[in-house]
């Protein structure tokens, strides 16, 4: 059941990424490029995606997940080095390429060799992340 839910969610996500144009790197870079030919599409995608989720979060108040267990608790509003530095790194890579993890996966069949190289580099970065994160924590403790 959980596997089927995952596949349905992934299918909707993949369809949405394609239809919204978010696998097109020019649209993403266009959104970030406020000094160039600014493209507002991403704001509509974000707004459209947040709407069903506003309802979904409300629905979590008085029920349990369909397949059992608990809904994820909200993390305390603490800003640490990991959140800030990780998000800066992500923003830089996102802007250089026009790809974030979802679209990088969704476009694997039509992104060409460049798309595959991006995906391989992204997975390599994910392998390196625990070590880099621990290094950040150590430098935070030393400071």
Q: Is 139 in the site for other proteins (CB under 8 A)?
A: no
The span from the CA of 115 to the CA of 101, in Å, is: 11
Q: Is 59 in the site for other proteins (CB under 8 A)?
A: yes
Subset of residues 82 to 121 that bind other proteins, contact rule: CB under 8 A = 82-112, 114-115, 117-121
Q: Is 54 in the site for other proteins (CB under 8 A)?
A: yes
Smaller CB separation from other proteins, 4 or 143: 4
Nearest distance, CB of residue 142 and other proteins, angstroms = 18
Query: Other C-beta atoms within 10 Å of 106: how many?
Result: 21
Q: Is 72 in the site for other proteins (CB under 8 A)?
A: yes
Q: Is 140 in the site for other proteins (CB under 8 A)?
A: no
User: Binding mask 2-41 vs other proteins (x if CB under 8 A, - otherwise)?
Assistant: xxxxxxxxxxxxxxxxxxxxxxxxxx-x--xxxxx--xxx
Smaller CB separation from other proteins, 11 or 138: 11
Nearest distance, CB of residue 131 and other proteins, angstroms = 9
Smaller CB separation from other proteins, 35 or 142: 35
Task: Give the CA dihedral 52, 49, 83, 86, nearest 10 degrees.
Answer: 150
Smaller CB separation from other proteins, 4 or 142: 4
């Amino acid at each position: 059941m959980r596997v089927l839910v995952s596949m349905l969610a992934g299918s909707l996500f993949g369809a949405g990424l394609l239809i919204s144009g978010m696998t097109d790197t020019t649209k993403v870079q266009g959104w970030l490029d406020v000094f160039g030919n600014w493209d507002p599409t991403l704001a509509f995608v974000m707004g459209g995606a947040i709407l069903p989720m506003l309802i979904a979060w409300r629905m979590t108040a008085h029920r349990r997940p369909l397949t059992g267990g608990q809904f994820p608790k909200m993390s305390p509003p603490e800003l640490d080095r990991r959140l800030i530095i990780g998000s800066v790194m992500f923003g830089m890579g996102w802007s250089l390429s026009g790809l974030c993890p979802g679209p990088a996966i969704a476009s694997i069949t039509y992104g060409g060799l460049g798309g595959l190289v991006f995906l391989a580099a992204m997975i390599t970065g994910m392998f390196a992340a625990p070590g880099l994160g621990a290094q950040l924590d150590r430098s935070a403790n030393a400071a």
